[in-house]
A = this chain, B = another copy of it.
Amino acid sequence: MKLYKKAILPLGFQANGISAGIKRSGKPDLALFYSGLPANAACLFTSNKIQAAPIIITKRHLKQSRYHRAIIANSGNANCFTGEQGLKDAEGISAVLSRAMHLKKESILVASTGIIARPMPFAMIKGSITRLVAGLSAEGIDKAKRAILTTDTFAKEVSVRFNYGCRRVTVCGVAKGAGMIAPDMATMLSFILTDAMVSQGALKKALAGAAGGSFNCITVDGCMSTNDTVIALANGAAGNTLIGPGSRYFAQFAKALNIVCLELAKMIIRDAEGATKFIRINVRQAKSVAQAKKAALNIANSNLFKTAIYGENNNFGRVIAAVGASGAEVSQKKMKVKISNLSKKDIDVDLSLGRGRASATVYTSDLTPEYIKINAGYN
């Protein structure tokens, strides 16, 4: 199994990214990921009660079609809290694309990220579709990965390759993150493409497992977005024997997906808004994995902890207070906290609760004046 710190499109996929004019800055804001073969899809969405229009439309298309062919994603406008018109716009985008590409509308999945409660510039997007489709290529992933970014300072991309008999399977992932990152799919979009021949059940199972230990274990500010979406497409172009949820090669495929998701999740934290530190919080000796994760997340979301790390201030009282507030069971006598050298960029917080054998790891960033500067002005 080999890891590449760049996006390598798997067989049978093409992509493109263009500037459609949604962002006033003129930066790329419209991305297309396309599979020449019908692909199995697995998706995860925000658990926010208010869900953006593209999520509602994507869920509908997942039900209406067995296979999927394309993901169209825009940045700059979240198409959230936009009412009936927002739903029409999201559906309209897939309709326009379906006509341009001669695809069934239901085989197209849509995603948006950006500002909430602004009408979608539908005409702009419609007018750009021909250009978007015309530019599709196997190398277009480098354009697509940039067109989904918002306040990100770099594109998140990773690929894993492994051999399955004499076939080579590629799993490629791109993501956008930056702010508003919290567990249960915080503001992030992530698209994972693979040429593995994998059943929908196996794809769903592998994605749920991979997200549980990656996207759901990162937090920047505890703020959960309305648009978070992870879409995995598997088109089978590698020609391997079908991987089912119980088959011999499932573990290998799941491992590849785990690596892709974890690498993307870590990159999101490395690029957290205003962050100067990358913090790994490892909770051990918890009564259950759920309690370990709860304790780790409560530390990760504590503004007092995050500012202390920013200040390179070894105030482990902040860790203790946050763990106690999490509700996880702790033995005050056996509890141990260790914080690594704070002058480095990468910080490890190791915490033993002294109550059991379960553990969990969560990744987060520090809270800095730059975070406030970015978010005080974002609109």
Contacts and interface: CB of A to CB of B under 8 A. Distances in A.
Interface of A: 47-51, 78, 80-81, 83, 115-117, 179-180, 182, 221-226, 301-304, 307-308, 310-311, 313-318, 320-330, 332-333, 367-369, 371-373, 375-379
A307 B226 contact: no
Interface majority SS on A: helix, strand, loop or mixed? Answer: loop
Nearest to A225: B321
A87 to B, nearest CB: 11
Contacts of A377: 311, 313
Nearest to A323: B50
Contacts of A379: 308, 313-315
Contacts of A225: 321
A306 to B, nearest CB: 9
Contacts of A313: 376-379
B78 A328 contact: no
Given A303-B303, A304-B375, A50 B321 contact: yes
Most chain B Cβ neighbours within 10 Å, of A324, A329, A378: A324
Nearest to A302: B223
A221 B221 CA distance: 11
A135 to B, nearest CB: 31
Contact of A49 (B308, B328, B368): B328
A189 to B, nearest CB: 15
A34 B101 CA distance: 82
A120 to B, nearest CB: 14
A304 B223 contact: yes
A117 B304 contact: no
A50 B180 contact: no
Given A116-B318, A222-B222, A311-B376, 12 more contacts: A48-B321, A49-B326, A49-B327, A80-B321, A115-B315, A117-B317, A180-B304, A182-B325, A223-B302, A225-B321, A307-B375, A313-B378
B378 A48 contact: no
B222 A303 contact: yes
A371 B377 CA distance: 17
Contact of A307 (B322, B329, B371): B371
A49 B330 contact: yes
A-B pairs with the 9 shortest C-beta distances? A116-B317, A311-B376, A50-B324, A224-B325, A369-B369, A307-B375, A48-B324, A221-B303, A49-B324
A329 B225 CA distance: 16
A297 to B, nearest CB: 12
Given A115-B317, A367-B372, A376-B313, A223 B327 contact: no
Nearest to A84: B333
20 contacts: A47-B325, A49-B323, A49-B324, A49-B326, A81-B332, A115-B317, A116-B320, A180-B321, A221-B304, A222-B303, A224-B324, A226-B321, A303-B371, A307-B372, A313-B376, A313-B379, A314-B379, A315-B379, A369-B369, A372-B372
Given A50-B323, A311-B375, A329-B49, A317 B81 contact: yes
Contacts of A302: 221-223
Contact of A80 (B307, B315, B317, B326): B317
A223 B303 contact: yes
A121 B311 CA distance: 26
A303 B300 CA distance: 13
